[in-house]
Each structure stands twice: as structure tokens, then as C-alpha cells.
């Protein structure tokens, strides 16, 4: 004949989902081993967990209602297997404490019996409460690649994420898309983190993870960045390095600069142009420096006449 899960929970077959939850809550608290030491209470507690595990799941319940315990656990013939049928056979995992903890989540199920902070609660049920506390999933980090122009001006980035969202019944879920807006501030640096609290997958017994975007700088064709400074490399021939030249370059905001170089350019020489770097995050109206480095191109060969002229010119 098979086990009558409805009788175990002391409800009728017309019971609603709310009735099933109410019955399990009342009886599980009554027969929990921490509150009931009578012979057979542990077995009763386990039967309640199995009954609730089946009747609280729409697919298992539908199969049980039609085919009984034998059909539920043994599997049903393919010709009877609809899209919602439990055709593979159900096996109870046997962990009544897990069912109990998942049901009550982070709530204290014994608050009806003991005052908050009472000695009985501390001594008898502290471990159980610890198991029931919901834990938050670890943060999910994603890279956010931004150009130097994005970080120079600031911008808004729209990121689409897909996450699991619980349905109103509190048991089932589905995947939904969501758009997250990130307001990029001028001067943000690589490694800046933007956190969206609890935007991860939802579940009946977890706190959703925070989603954290970590700023990564895209490679730029003209500049590299060091903190608030921009580094630019200018290529000059040897004669200009010795006699002077000017560097023409376009800034991130589209202006053309002509920077005269009157010093002798040696391999370690740099030219610092104040205020032409990245905006300062604390005060975007102020900027770091532009640092011009130089790569000197030497001639591949010289005629004897040119060598003599150079020797005369460079002789002190």
C-alpha cells in the first residue's frame, strides 16, 4: 500500500502548500530530538522530513498523488511519464536535520519556547541555531575593461547580468536578466572595485552574493598610465636629440600640444609637462603630469667625412 505522507503530517489530501508548511513546522518542532527525548521521536522526526520533502515539491507530490510511494520511489512506466513526472525514481536523502534547517533558514525555530538569550537557549540549542543562520555566497568578481578616455572623462556603462531569481512560491526559480548601471568617475584607477550588493543568484536558503566589478585599463595606442601621470614615448633622431627639437602630440581630450625641447636628450632624459595627465579622483579639476620619454634613433652608418665633422663638433 505504501506510506501515507499526508497521514504522517496529519493533513488531508486537499491540503494547500501553506497547510503543508504549517503542519511540518508544528510537528517538526514537537518531535525534534532537542525538544523531545521520548522513544520513537527521532524516527518520527525523520518521517516528517521525508513527508515534507515529497509534498513540498510539486513534481514529487504530483507523482506521489497519482502512483503512490511505490511509483514515486520505483519510477513509473515511460508511457505514464509526462513532462512533470518523476520518472527516474525518488530516493530520500535521509538527512532530517537538513530539511529542518532549510525550512527554518536563519530564524530561531525555538523562540516560541525560550526567551531570547535565555540559558536554556544557549545551552540546548546554540548549535542548532548556528546551523540555521543563512550564509552569504562569496563575492563574484568580474573584470570591467575601460579605455583611458573612459577614465579621463568618466562615463556610464550598462552591464547585463543573468541571475537566478526565486519565484513567489519560495521554492522554484528561473533565470532573469538585469541591467546594472556603473557610473565611471574621472580618474578611477585600475583595480577600483564597484560592488552591487546581493545581486547574485537567489536561493531559498542563501543570501545572494555581491557582484563586484574590478576596473581594468585597456591598452592605449599612445599613452601608458602610472597612477595619475600619463607616459608618452617620442621617437627622435640623434641630431635632434643633440641640437633640440619640439614634440607634437595629441592629448586624450583631442588638443594638439607643441612642446619645445631645448635640453640635450640622453637615454634617461624625460620631459615633465605639469597638468596634462589624468584627473585626480579627489578633485577632477586637477590633473597629474604628462611625462615624455624618448627613444633615440642612431644612424645605421656614417661616411668618413661625416665622422670627421662629428668628431670636430663634439671635441671639447
CATH number attached to the domain at 137-217: 2.60.260.20
Tell me, which fold does domain 223-301 have in CATH?
HSP40/DNAj peptide-binding domain (2.60.260)
Q: How many CB atoms lie within 10 A of CB 107?
A: 12
Residue, of 224 and 117, whose pLDDT is higher: 224
| Radius of gyration for the chain, computed over Cα atoms and rounded to the nearest angstrom | 36
Percent of the chain with pLDDT over 70: 85
131 CB-contact burial (10 Å; exposed 0-12 / middle 13-18 / buried 19+): exposed
How confident is the model at residue 293, as a pLDDT?
92
Model confidence at 50: pLDDT above 60: yes
How confident is the model at residue 113, as a pLDDT?
46
Residue, of 120 and 24, whose pLDDT is higher: 24
Model confidence at 152: pLDDT above 90: yes
- The pLDDT tens digits of the residues spanning 203-247 come to 777 788 899 999 999 999 999 999 999 999 999 888 888 888 889
Residue, of 130 and 140, whose pLDDT is higher: 140
Contact 146, 218 (CB under 8 A): yes
Could you give the CA distance from residue 54 to residue 49 in angstroms, rounded to a whole number? 9
How confident is the model at residue 115, as a pLDDT?
43
Q: What confidence tier does 86 reach under pLDDT thresholds 50, 70, 90?
A: very low
Average pLDDT, the chain: 82
How confident is the model at residue 278, as a pLDDT?
94
How confident is the model at residue 96, as a pLDDT?
86
Q: What confidence tier does 129 reach under pLDDT thresholds 50, 70, 90?
A: very low
Backbone angles phi, psi at 131, to 5 degrees: -70, -30
Model confidence at 156: pLDDT above 90: yes
Helices 119-132 & 96-104, crossing angle to 10 degrees?
Answer: 90
Q: What confidence tier does 166 reach under pLDDT thresholds 50, 70, 90?
A: confident
CATH of 5-135, one of 1.10.287.110, 3.40.50.10860, 1.20.1440.60, 3.50.50.60: 1.10.287.110
Could you give the CA distance from residue 153 to residue 285 in angstroms, rounded to a whole number? 11
**5-135 and 223-301: identical CATH topology:** no
Collapsed DSSP state (helix, strand, coil) of residue 308 = helix
pTM here? 0.54
Domain ranges of the chain: 5-135, 137-217, 223-301
How confident is the model at residue 148, as a pLDDT?
93
Amino acid at each position: 500500500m505504501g506510506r501515507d505522507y499526508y497521514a504522517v503530517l496529519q493533513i488531508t489530501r486537499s491540503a494547500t502548500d501553506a497547510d503543508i508548511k504549517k503542519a511540518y513546522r508544528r510537528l517538526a518542532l514537537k518531535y525534534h530530538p532537542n525538544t523531545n527525548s521520548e522513544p520513537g521521536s527521532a524516527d518520527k522526526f525523520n518521517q516528517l522530513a521525508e513527508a515534507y520533502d515529497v509534498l513540498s515539491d510539486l513534481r514529487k507530490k504530483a507523482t506521489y498523488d497519482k502512483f503512490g510511494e511505490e511509483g514515486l520511489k520505483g519510477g513509473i512506466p515511460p508511457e505514464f511519464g509526462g513532462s512533470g513526472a518523476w520518472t527516474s525514481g525518488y530516493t530520500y536523502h535521509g538527512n532530517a536535520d537538513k530539511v529542518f534547517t532549510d525550512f527554518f533558514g536563519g530564524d530561531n525555530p525555538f523562540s516560541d519556547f525560550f526567551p531570547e538569550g535565555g540559558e536554556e537557549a544557549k545551552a540546548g540549542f546554540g548549535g542548532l541555531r548556528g546551523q540555521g543562520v543563512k550564509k552569504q555566497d562569496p563575492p563574484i568578481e568580474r573584470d570591467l575593461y575601460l579605455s583611458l578616455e573612459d577614465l579621463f572623462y568618466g562615463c556610464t556603462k550598462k552591464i547585463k547580468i543573468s541571475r537566478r531569481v526565486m519565484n513567489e512560491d519560495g521554492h522554484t526559480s528561473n533565470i532573469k536578466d538585469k541591467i546594472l548601471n556603473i557610473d565611471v568617475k574621472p580618474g578611477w584607477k585600475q583595480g577600483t572595485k564597484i560592488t552591487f550588493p546581493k545581486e547574485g543568484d537567489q536561493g531559498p536558503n542563501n543570501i545572494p552574493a555581491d557582484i563586484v566589478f574590478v576596473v581594468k585599463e585597456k591598452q592605449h595606442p599612445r599613452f601608458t598610465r602610472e597612477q595619475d601621470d600619463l607616459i608618452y614615448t617620442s621617437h627622435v633622431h640623434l641630431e635632434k636629440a643633440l641640437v633640440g627639437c619640439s614634440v607634437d602630440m595629441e592629448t586624450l581630450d583631442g588638443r594638439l600640444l607643441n612642446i619645445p625641447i631645448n635640453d640635450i636628450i640622453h637615454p634617461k632624459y624625460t620631459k615633465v609637462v605639469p597638468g596634462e595627465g589624468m584627473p585626480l579622483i579627489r578633485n577632477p579639476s586637477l590633473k597629474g603630469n604628462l611625462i615624455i620619454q624618448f627613444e633615440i634613433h642612431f644612424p645605421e652608418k656614417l661616411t668618413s667625412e661625416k665622422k670627421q665633422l662629428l668628431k670636430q663638433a663634439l671635441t671639447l
